[in-house]
Amino acid sequence: MGSDVFQPGITAGRLDPDSYAEHFSDLHPRLDAHEALVAADRCYFCHDAPCITACPTDIDIPLFIRQIATGTPDAAAKTILTQNIMGGMCARVCPTETLCEEACVREAAEGKPVLIGQLQRYATDHLQEQGIHPFSRAAATGKKVAVVGAGPAGLSCAHRLAMLGHDVVVMDARAKPGGLNEYGIATYKTPDGYAQTEVDWLLQIGGITLQCGTALGDGFTLEDLREGYDAVFLAMGLGGVNALDAEGSNKDGVRDAVDFIAELRQASDVAEVPIGRDVVVIGGGMTAVDAAVQAKLLGALNVTLVYRRGRDRMNASVFEQDLAASKGVRIVTHAVPVAVHGNGSVREIEFEYVDDAMKGTGQTLRLPADQVFKAIGQTLIGDGIPELDGRKIKVSETGRTSVAGVWAGGDCASGGDDLTVTAVAEGRDAAMDIHKVLVG
């Protein structure tokens, strides 16, 4: 189901090599030293800086920008990384325009915030490219912690625990660590293998053992981990994808958007990834936008993103929506899929327009499609997991679950929004609580 092999209309190599290189280059080329100084000079260094409050990891933003302004970017990087060990990735992928930069006093006064995200990248890149790891381990505690999931939450938790002197084993179902940073984010946001570069740098702390290709429920259970370790942190993300409730949704050419993005991220040559002539993406979040934009960048002639509510209800930020539109993606709102048409393979997909209450209007829209990407949400999968809150693991503010000795964070937990920076904060905070419990 969903195979694109040998389907008419779906082909690789639609563009010339130079176009691929241009389309999948860095979305925001990093600042040079002079540009960073100019950008840093715009900061007011507010005493009660609203940008700090808006940052899920509570980075002291005025301090690190002042450190850049005074010519000490490595000190700025340590200020960032003390709060957010994955500050380099967050600088690339976080919606800063709706977080720290939206809260910037310059944004309120002039409509042009300080370039906080790009300054953060400048500092962290400067330090990491020197191979510097500014943290060291505390004296060994003799305690051993299992972390399930090598995404942002799991790696953040593992690093903080290792820094505090604990031994950590990180298990992940995928062949590589990194989670969504490696498999689920648009290629043009993190080119040149940055996700793995950051993981390799993070592991320099020592005390962390990686076990890839192993998953909860496939070779070990939660009870096994509770018996074999002093504490457990669950950060396995959401492995399942919601089903498309439309007749004919099992036709060839209908795929999960996360699989398409992962395929593109792992391709040695993006030109070899096949794409349709007419592509439809269903959903309104970051994953939907990433899939739609990349379909267009691969050479799809017509790409339409269809969302069931209005643009003001889309989880994708306004910046991401505008980016999609600027690349030629058509955005259709207030429409839900009702049928996929075609003889074995998708040829058209039919939608019904709905009102704000999600009630059908009787008006329909049929779009030609040889590929349909579903980005309609993911679900938690696994047996024997702690108590749920809705469809995610129920946790306290510090990540404690209903099972003693087990914490959770990131997308699989009920803590907060599904952002890299939030996952990092949850992993860090859970690590501090785990440490508190383990050392009494």
Give the tens place of pLDDT for each residue, 284-343.
999 999 999 999 999 999 999 999 999 999 999 999 999 999 999 999 999 999 999 999
In this prediction, residue 415 carries a pLDDT of 76
Per-residue pLDDT at 63 exceeds 60? yes
Q: Please list, in sequence order, all residues whose beta carbon lies within 8 angstroms of the beta carbon of residue 112, skipping any fewer than 6 positions away.
A: 106
Per-residue pLDDT at 201 exceeds 90? yes
Find the angle CA(38)-CA(198)-CA(21) to the nearest 5 degrees.
Answer: 70
CB 87 within 8 A of CB 71: no
Per-residue pLDDT at 381 exceeds 90? no
Per-residue pLDDT at 382 exceeds 70? yes
Residue whose C-alpha is closest to residue 27's, from 96, 80, 98:
96
Phi, psi of 384 (to 5 degrees): 70, 25
Same domain for 247 and 232? no
Number of Cα atoms under 13 Å in the Cβ half of residue 210? 21
User: Is residue 23, in this structure, part of any structural domain at all?
Assistant: no
Among 128, 155, 176, the domain-final residue is 128
Reported as a pLDDT band with limits 50, 70 and 90, residue 411 is: very high
Among 323, 346, 377, the domain-final residue is 377
Q: CA end-to-end span of the chain, whole Å?
A: 52
* Total domain count, the chain: 3
User: Is residue 1, in this structure, part of any structural domain at all?
Assistant: no
Whole domain around residue 160: which residue ranges? 144-239+380-439
In this prediction, residue 323 carries a pLDDT of 96
Reported as a pLDDT band with limits 50, 70 and 90, residue 1 is: very low
Q: Within 174-254, where are the H helices?
A: 180-183, 194-202, 222-228
Q: What is the CATH number of the domain that holds 60?
A: 1.10.1060.10
Same domain for 115 and 161? no
Query: pLDDT per residue over 207-244, tens digit each?
Result: 999 999 999 988 899 999 999 999 999 999 998 889 99
Task: Compute and round to an integer the Cα radius of gyration of the chain.
Answer: 22
Same domain for 262 and 356? yes
Same domain for 74 and 154? no
Same domain for 247 and 336? yes
Among 357, 377, 397, the domain-final residue is 377
Lowest mean pLDDT among 122-131, 216-225, 252-261, 342-351: 216-225
Q: How far apart are CA 189 and CA 177, in angstroms?
A: 18
User: Is residue 227, in this structure, part of any structural domain at all?
Assistant: yes
User: Is residue 13, in this structure, part of any structural domain at all?
Assistant: no
Same domain for 248 and 371? yes
Same domain for 344 and 253? yes
Query: pLDDT per residue over 135-148, tens digit each?
Result: 999 999 999 999 99
Average pLDDT, the chain: 95
Q: What is the CATH number of the domain that holds 234?
A: 3.50.50.60
Same domain for 233 and 251? no
Query: Tokens 């592509």 belong to which residue?
Result: 279
CB 44 within 8 A of CB 65: no
User: Is residue 135, in this structure, part of any structural domain at all?
Assistant: no
In this prediction, residue 128 carries a pLDDT of 96
Region 74-102: what's the mean pLDDT? 96
Same domain for 288 and 414? no
